[in-house]
Structure 1
């Protein structure tokens, strides 16, 4: 009878664990990307560059890429892109009302392309992307860092 009771307890615990796991919401790349896109777009500070930049595009894609494109008033275009899996660290220089976020990668992992520049089109690599931000609190920056670090811990697809 004791073996039956122990077997029953093990079965019930296993069934309960499976049931709880079935209704849990596993964290995914899409959730992290959505938060990063919303946060960076909400705090982007166009006024820091408005005298030089006509418009910009800042996208965090569902396949884990950060893409930042700036269109200058003189026709020049700069494009920066890196895989979030290559994220190393970030720094913020400024205060809560205005500053610059430096997203650093493990190596020369940032693709930099320049179009319609006086020196011609240039393709190169860099170690960071600099994004102007405004109205951002320390907690917001901590959340951005946390989401970037969690993306690193997700299983990577080849």
Structure 2
């Protein structure tokens, strides 16, 4: 009887952990998909941009302007204080506010000189997104932050 209880507990633990891993994977996929679907960098003279979530909990955002200036942002999820959306459903900014000096900000190929600095937020231009999708996106980011993956 004790052996079968141990097996049941082990099975439930495995299912719980597996479901948590699945939920984290789904949230990561959702966050990146929302970025890809609603990103608006081209409206601001950006020819190439990328947004990714690493397996060790980093958000990495990179954009290359038409002048070939590259901007790179990186922050660990546990440094995020809150995520806001500023704008309308037609156009706005996803603002990821973080602890002071927790976001790595670097520029390359900048005519004014390259920058290597620590800042407190990342602003991502967004277009054509309804309030429901904004809420899903922000909720997924908050769930990932809470998961401490």
TM-score normalized with structure 2 length: 0.81
The equivalent of 1:38 in structure 2 is 33
Q: Which runs of 5+ in 2 are unaligned?
A: none
Aligned-partner Cα distance in 2 for 1:47–1:77: 14
Check the 8 A contact 1:87/1:105 in 2, yes or no: yes
Aligned match of 1:148 in 141, 145, 149?
141
Q: How far apart, in 2, do the equivalents of 1:153 and 1:55 lie? A: 30
Following superposition, the deviation at residue 137 of structure 1 comes to: 1.9
Q: Provide the alpha-carbon RMSD of the alignment.
A: 2.4
Where relative contact order (Cα < 8 A, 6+ residues apart) is larger, the structure is 2
Checking the alignment, whether the CA contact within 8 Å between 1:33 and 1:62 is kept in structure 2 is no
Query: What TM-score results when the alignment is normalised by the length of structure 1?
Result: 0.77
Q: Which residue of 2 is the match for residue 92 of structure 1?
A: 85
Residue in 1 that maps onto 2:120: 127
Q: Which has the larger radius of gyration?
A: 1
